[in-house]
Amino acid sequence: MDIVAGFRPQGVAQWALFIPLTGIILLCSYLVFSSRRAGLSHIPGPFWARYTDAWALYNAWKGLHYGNKVEVQRGIQARYGDIVRTGPRSVTVFDPAAVPTIYGVRSKLDKGNAYVPFRQAGVTTSLLSIADEKTHSQYRKLVSNAYSMTSLKGYEPYVDDMVKRFVEACNNHANTRTPMNLSLWCQYYCFDVVSKITMGKPLGSMDGEGHDAYGLVQRVRAFGFYAGLVSQMPWLHKVFQDNPLMRKTRPSPFVPVVRGIVQARLLNPDPEDQPRPDLLSHFVATHGGYPELMDHKQILISTSGNLIAGGLSPSAAFDELCRYLATHPESQDKLYQELQQAQCSQPVASYDEAKNLPYLEGTIREAYRLHSSTSFNLQRVAGAAGLTLPNGVHIPQGTNIGCPAGAINQNVRVFGDDADEYRPERWMRAKDETEEAYIERRKLMDRTDMTFGQGSRTCVGKYIAFLEFFKAAATLLAQFKFERTGEVKKGKVVVNVVRRVKA
């Protein structure tokens, strides 16, 4: 008995060591088997990316935390080339020639799981995160009329109201000679104008001295950081969403007041205080024709999603524009001269006038091109036949593949050797350039620009974003000059506002 008892602790210790060791061996074997089964051994990339998405997660965190996403992407490209294996079943493509192949209408590639973190809890039918092309097309048709060019003209008076408030704020700062954080006011404007277009009423961000109504700006920023990070390991989103202990730590951009507005409109589709149609009116009308698809929940999804996406990207691009103009007063003068010569209508410039001004267009296109998108990789999934890239490299079926928008938008092969610089003239015809050469160069930039995506998944609200952007920029630059005071940085462009004196 004593001998047996003496050996028992040693046996238990051996079993305690054997179990985790066996688990580690099985896990490593599974990772190696899965990596080889993916058929991506011919794609260069870091060692760890063959077996885990942790490498991609780290690089996403680094880019988001330090605000240098494009620099991180360029570093990856410089080390591994145009086609990089960034995960066990993931490939990132930096070759701009591959954009039509991956995102073209003919490709019809489904989206990957990287878009799952952009969903609200229990929601699978938001346009951004619908995976398969067939379902996406079905739901996009429900709302496409609301975003058509015909409907766009109906939203212009809403934008006029918000531009006038912006002008009023600038006048107040000019009168009191107090510095104005132009970046903040651009954010307030973008969220208020998209709220007005979407629901017929602004959130109130531009009321008084201006403020972050409902904390939406901070909510969207936090959610963007979360989604950009967790999209690298989509299963983490399920942990945050399904685990009661983790759920509260997951940021949500949803504003409760939106639910109340939507419910009120459903009860009273044609309120007397709503003389013009807004996006919500279109959604409610579509519900009448397609109640099973555009149900009450889908109306709420479409409304809140539009509010978030329509405020986030335009405000980031507007901030890019502000930083450029504040540090380049000569560009402000050039814009002012162009607006004067065009004799744009007052007190608010019309969209039809503003959209045809070449230097203004170049200024706005550069702002959108250089502002970094949320996603590191606009992910698609290679179909049953796989995918052959323009350089001949074949990508197997089921591989997550995509291009990083930031790096593509600053690719020197498309946008020139100074692709990382803000140069509005890039979008204009050069003095020594033939008409044919200019048209070909513009076509290349337009079909490569990833700001709003490409192909059938192009952002449905693209032209609404241009509507609010062109009108505000044309109106403000025609009436004011913004002189920087102090340091200019992302999210903080403090200026003195000076009224323009017409010649």
Which residues fall in the annotated binding site for heme? 459
SS3 per residue for 288-319: HHCCCCCCHHHHHHHHHHHHHHHHHHHHHHHH
Mind giving me the DSSP string for 23-52?
Answer: HHHHHHHHHHHHHHHTT-TTS---TGGGT-
Cα(109)–Cα(133) distance, integer angstroms: 7
Backbone angles phi, psi at 295, to 5 degrees: -80, -175
Q: With b meaning 16 or more CB within 10 Å and e meaning fewer, what string describes 260-295? A: ebbeebeeeeeeeebeebbbbbbbbebbeeeeeebe
CA distance 227 to 220: 10
Integer Cα distance of 52 and 60 in angstroms:
14
Phi-psi map region of 122: left, alpha, beta (phi>0 left; psi -120 to 50 alpha)? left
Cβ contact 199:258 at 8 Å:
yes
Pairing of strands 90-93, 83-87: antiparallel
Nearest to 37 by CA among 384, 396, 400, 401: 396
Instruction: List, in order, residues 6 or more apart from 286 with CB less than 8 Å away.
Output: 142, 143, 145, 146, 294
Region of 357 on the Ramachandran plot (φ > 0 left; ψ -120 to 50 alpha; else beta): beta
Helices 296-327 and 133-143: crossing angle in degrees, nearest 10, is 80
Q: Provide the β-strand partners of residue 378.
A: 403
Give the strand pairing for 90-93 and 400-403: parallel
Q: Indicate the DSSP class of residue 215.
A: G
Residue found by looking up tokens 């885990």 in the block: 52
Residue count (the chain): 503
- Cα→Cα distances 13→3, 16, 26, 321, 337, Å: 17, 5, 20, 65, 83
Residues 6+ apart with CB under 8 A from 161: 196, 202
Which tokens hold the place of 189? 């404007």
User: In this structure, what are the phi and psi dihedrals at residue 355, rounded to the nearest 5 degrees?
Assistant: -70, -15
Binding-site residues? 459
357 burial (CB, 10 Å; 0-12 / 13-18 / 19+) is buried
**C-alpha dihedral sign at 429, 432, 438, 444:** negative
